[in-house]
Amino acid sequence: MEHQLLAASDKHNEKHIEEIRHQMNSLYTDFIYV
């Protein structure tokens, strides 16, 4: 049970990290073009 919870948390974190990375890339791109 605990392992499944960890796996789900991992997947959630992965998605969260992707979103943050995407936001960072957008900020970075804006910064470069300004």
pLDDT digits (tens, 9 = 90+) for 1-34: 567 777 888 888 899 989 999 998 888 777 766 5
Residues 6+ apart with CB under 8 A from 3: none
Give the pLDDT score at 6: 77
Q: What is the pTM of this model?
A: 0.52
CA distance linking residue 19 with residue 23, whole number of Å: 6
> Considering all CA atoms of the chain, what is the largest pairwise distance in Å, rounded to the nearest integer?
50
What pLDDT was estimated at residue 25?
87
Residue 18 has a pLDDT of: 92
